[in-house]
Each structure stands twice: as structure tokens, then as C-alpha cells.
Structure 1
Amino acid sequence: MTKSPQFKPSKKCSIDFSTTIGPASIAPKTIAPKTVAIVCFDDAQLLDITGPMQVFSSANDLYEGDVKPYRLLTIAENDKIKTTSGLELAVEPLSLAPDQLDTLIISGGRGINRFAGNKAILQWLDMMNRKTRRTASVCSGSLALAKLGLLDGKKATTHWSRIDEFRRDYPSVLWTNEAIFIRNGKIWTSAGITSGVDMALAMVEEDLGFNLAKSVARHLVVYLRRPGGQSQFSELLDFYCEDERFNLLNQWIMKNLSRPLSVAMLAEKCGMSERNFSRLYTRDTGSSPAKAIELFRLEAARQYLEQNWSIKKTARQCGFGSEETLRRVFQRHLHVSPQNYRDRFSRLPDE
């Protein structure tokens, strides 16, 4: 097993850790650790807590200096909570929480409505937010930020399953489900559950630089998603329907994207006339066959580009015919070029 690289500050380093962003931002030995607190509650989602916490903990492990960059706390109203998975966690009670936090992260989960409905909790969050460098939420934890008015007029994200509800209840917030995480000044919001890991990696990168964040991502066997611009879920889920013939057909399409795929060919695969096939497929999946094929090709292209494939090879493998066609499809659906998408979301290169 390859040992993860350690990062040691230079003896000549005089960079201000609290303000510098970028690969050179390695903390001097005299800098005190930044206190990162994840606030949770009964019926919190376990991964909302442990995901970001592990990112910061791994950053401590991989940072080789006299002072570790982060002091980590888990805070709740009382001294223990029971998560939605049934696992109980011992935490720091609110009454013993420090007066000053660098980064405050609010977890999500089924208990968020009760938590965010507690006026004393909201008052404490509001007071702490006035003193933090960063205030953030994971998943439905954004409800607490919305109740405090911290998201008014700002773009924000949350778990896709609650976004319609939040749009209705907090119309002054610009809710979107087309992002893994969003930063507005000191306020950060992340989407569903594991996206808290992506957000925490971006925070580590801001604090300690790209190289250390990349090392943490390698250590955790996850992607380093720097800009936070990917959708929360695959569009392919929308094409599953009650008619198993079409589900099997869609699986076949995904395995044969490099071939020329016509409506006549697909209709024949299903044993239908072209007209009847197009009508039933559109009715059951909500998309015409032609649009579905384009989206399947787009989804496959995204995955290949995330594996750092070339644009030319991706276009050929996904059946686009040309790089220009691939570019037009990416611009139409994702508003970004294939090259830019690959630069932003490709897996960490082998070294």
C-alpha cells in the first residue's frame, strides 16, 4: 500500500494561514488550530456528521507540523444523540460549547424540523454565526440557515427530496438542486448527504491548499470536486418505469451507445411498430426515444470525462459522431464545454 504523502511547513514560511488560499497556504507552526464544530441532533443523518468530520480529521493526519490545523467538535443540545441509523454518538453539550468557532456546520436528517424549530437553538446559531469565519449546512441542515434568514437572496442547495418544500416555504432563497455545494461569502450549503464530503474538501483546500486537499481525497478514495458544480443525481433515474421492456431496452442502449441507434432499431428490439413504440416509450418514460438516447450518451460522456478520457475518444465511444456534436450537447444540457467539464471533474491523475 502506497503511503499517503505528508505535508510539512517550511521553516522559512511566513504565510498567514487565516487569509491565504492556494497550494502555498501551509500553516506556520505558531498558528493555533481552527475549531470546526458539526452541530447535530436526534435523528440526524450519520453521514452528514461523520463525512465532513473525517475529511478534517484526515487533513490533521496528513499535515505534518507541530500544530495540527483543526480542532474538531461535535455539538448537540445534550451530551448524546441517536442518529437515523440507530447509532448513538457522544457529543459536546451546547452548554459546554466554546464561545468562538472558526467553522460551524449544521447536519441534516429527519430531526432537522424539530431542531430548527427550537428558538433557543436558533438564537445560539445566530450568535455563533456572527463570530464564525464560515457557517455551513449539509443536506437538509440548510433549513436552519433559511429560518435565520442567512440564505435570503442567495443561491443555496439542499437534499433534492426537500427542495420543492423549501422553495415553497422560503421563496426568497434561490434554491437549486444542480450543485453539490454552493458558497456565498462565509455561508456554504451542500446537497444530499455525501456532498458534505465534497464541501469539506473544498474548505480544506481553501485553508491548506490544493495539494493537501488532493491528498485527503486520495486517502479517502473519493474525487476532489473543487468547484462543486455537479448535479446531485443521474438523470437516468428518471427513465425507469413500470414497463420492464423499456427498462431492459434502456440498459441495452447504455451498452451500445457507440452504435447508430434509430427508432426503427429500438422498436424492433421491443417487437413494436415504430409509431406504437414512440408513443408508449414517451408516455411511460416522459421522454421521446431520441431525447433519451441523447441523455444516455451525455451521461456516459460525463462518466468517461471524469475518468480523464480524451474528448475525441469520448465522442466516438458514446456515439456522438464528432467532437462538435459532443460539445453542442454539453453546452445545451450542462452549459459547459466537455473540456471544461473534464478539467473540473476528472479523477485525480495517477502520480
Structure 2
Amino acid sequence: MQRVGFVVYPGFSIMALAAVPAFEVGNLVADEATYEISFVSEHGGPVRTSAGLNVETEAFGETAFDTLIVGGGTFVRPSTPGLVALVQRAAAQTRRVAAICTGAFVLGEAGLLDGRRVTTHWMHARELQKQFPKCSADVDCIYINDGPIWTSAGMSAGIDLALALIEADLGQEVARAVAKKLVLYHRRAGGQSQFSTLLELDAKSDRIQSALTYAKQNLHRPLSVEELAEAARLSPRQFSRVFHAETGQSPAKAVENLRVEAARVLMERSRHPIDTVADQTGFADRNRMRRAFLRAFGQPPQVIRRNARGALDAAGL
């Protein structure tokens, strides 16, 4: 039996609890009680989430946990000295410690991030690095495993983190079965970007959104302004004007960003040669793709692939 202690504190986000069902379902899939889940807090009793829901908890005691998970909050607030001390003490006798979203700040206050590569929600990554300069905050990951310390990005990434923990314990097939029962495709790879180009573009009208969807489905094509305008049922001149007004980008720049995103996913998830990736995502050649990667990420495709492979290897995948 592995005891999982889920640490909460006043004002934590209810979304952090989304990671809990993964362990419940893990027990069902494994057909044995592998995980025993406890909700713990500094003083015990009801702890109020930022949404107003009270969660009943146990006070930290002498119980040893196999896995300690610190939930995150919508806002970053200093932890109480008591909470920091409790996390420090518990971590000393815990196999692994994880944090969801801004829960990483609690680990930082406890000194657990020093010398570690970590992540958190992209909105707070810069502040995490500033407050805890001895860590290396990587904004561009869904989750990171560095030794006994696991950290995840925004709240939904806590589910990916939980699935990764289960996979490390019970194997890939169990984790896949858990994801299926949770109606998830599967957990996202740790090195996957937190960002989505389509979400970032945030088209306001159905016509521009249709053009973007068409572009994403046809990245292997040249995708001229005329072709995109036809998909949007607008004249090329009107399309360019409306597209820039809604997205703040030119159609050509938006298409390049979509190509880079698709190419990055292929680099992370496949072993296709770089020339093949460039061809499938519409880049004229590998050099053009390399220049686009440098503009977008400051790194060439080979480094992106190596980092993604390293994250998977570190997780034992």
C-alpha cells in the first residue's frame, strides 16, 4: 500500500483535486488497493478552497507518506512557517514530493527546489525563478521529474502528473487504462509545450476561426493568402485586414506558428528524420524549419527533440 498525502491550505484551487481520481481509478485498474489517499493540512479540519468549498483534512502527524502532493492556488501567497516546516519534515521521509501549479512555491519555500529543474504555470514561472534562484524554472513543460521532485504546470496538468506517477509505479499499460477510464486520450508528454497556437491567436469570428482550422488541417500545403481567404469566404484583401485585426498577426506569421507547433509535436513524439518532419508540416526544407524554431523557441529542432527524449528517459518511459 502506498500512502499518498495531498497537502492543501486555505485558498487552494479546487481544480488541483482533479489529480485525485487518477489514483482512485489506479486502484480499480490494478485490481488492488495500491494507493491510500489522505488529505492533510497544517491544523486539520475543514480547509476552504478559493471557490468556497470546504475539504475535510487530517492534521499533519507522524504518518509517513510514500508520495506527498502539494496542491496549487489561483494566486501565489506566502506559506505559513508551520506549513513550510511540515512539508520539510514530511519530505525527509517521503519517496517523492510533487507540486501542482503554484504548489511549487511551497516546495521552494521548503528548500526542496534548490538545484532542481522545475515547472509551474507559465504565468508564475518568472516569479518562481526570481524567488528561488537556485532552481531552474522551465516554463515550456507540462510536468518535470527531477529526482524525487515532480512539478506540473497549470491545474489540468496535475492530471498528467498523476498519470506519470502511476505509470512510474504500475507501468504504462495501467496508466493508459486509467486515462481511458477518465475519458482522456492519454497523458501528455512532460516536455510538451504549455501553449497552444490556436488558443493564443484567439480568433473572434467564425470565418477567421474556419481559416485557422483549415490551415491546421492542411499544413503540408503552401497555404497562400488566397487559399485561406477562400476558406474564410472573404476576399484576400478583406481577409488579411480582418485576420490581423482579430489575431494581431499576419496570416503568414500565424501559419508559420502553426507549422512550428505541429513540427515540435512530431519532433517530441516521433523518431521521424528532420527532413520528414519539415516536409509533413509544410516547411520547404530543414533549414527553413530550423530558422523558424530559432525564432519561436531560441533552440534548433535537434535540441527540442533531445530535451523531450531526456524528460521521458528521466521518467523511465
TM-score band, normalised by shorter chain:
0.7 to 0.9
Q: Which amino acid in 2 is paired with 1:130?
A: A
**Which residue number corresponds to residue 61 of structure 1?**
28
Q: Secondary structure at the match of 1:295?
A: helix
| Identical pairs, percent | 34
TM-score by length of 2: 0.76
**Which residue number corresponds to residue 3 of structure 2?**
35
Larger Rg: 1
* Residues 1:75 and 2:40 are matched in the alignment: yes
**Which residue number corresponds to residue 52 of structure 1?**
19
Give the root-mean-square deviation of aligned CA atoms.
Answer: 4.0
Change beyond 3 A, Cα 1:324–1:213:
farther
**Which residue number corresponds to residue 30 of structure 1?**
none
* Residues 1:181 and 2:143 are matched in the alignment: yes
CA contact (8 A) 1:52 1:197 kept: yes
Q: Secondary structure at the match of 2:102?
A: helix
CA contact (8 A) 2:102 2:120 kept: yes
Q: Which amino acid in 2 is paired with 1:165?
A: E
CA contact (8 A) 2:45 2:59 kept: yes
CA contact (8 A) 1:42 1:111 kept: no
Counterpart mapping for 1:1-351 below 5 A: 33-49=1-17, 51-65=18-32, 68-76=33-41, 77-94=43-60, 97-110=61-74, 113=77, 116-225=78-187, 227-240=189-202, 249-251=211-213, 253-254=215-216, 256-263=218-225, 269=234, 271-272=236-237, 281=244, 285=247, 287-299=249-261, 319-320=282-283, 332=300, 335-336=303-304
- Cα distance between partner residues in 1 of 2:159 and 2:219: 32
Change beyond 3 A, Cα 1:93–1:240:
same
- Cα distance between partner residues in 1 of 2:168 and 2:217: 40
CA contact (8 A) 2:100 2:120 kept: yes
CA contact (8 A) 2:179 2:187 kept: no
CA contact (8 A) 1:249 1:270 kept: no
- Cα distance between partner residues in 1 of 2:5 and 2:181: 22
Tell me the alpha carbon deviations over residues 11-55 of structure 1, each in whole angstroms, 9 at most, x when there is no partner. Answer: xxxxxxxxxxxxxxxxxxxxxx11110001222111212x22211
May I ask how many residue pairs the two structures share in their alignment? 297
Change beyond 3 A, Cα 1:334–1:230:
farther
Q: Secondary structure at the match of 1:105?
A: strand
Structure 1 unaligned residues grouped into runs of 5+: 1-32, 345-351
Q: Which amino acid in 2 is paired with 1:40?
A: V
Tell me the alpha carbon deviations over residues 104-144 of structure 1, each in whole angstroms, 9 at most, x when there is no partner. Answer: 1100013651xx42001111111111111001100100011
Structure 2 unaligned residues grouped into runs of 5+: 294-298, 313-317
CA contact (8 A) 1:298 1:329 kept: yes
Q: Greater shift after overlay, 180-189 or 78-87?
A: 78-87
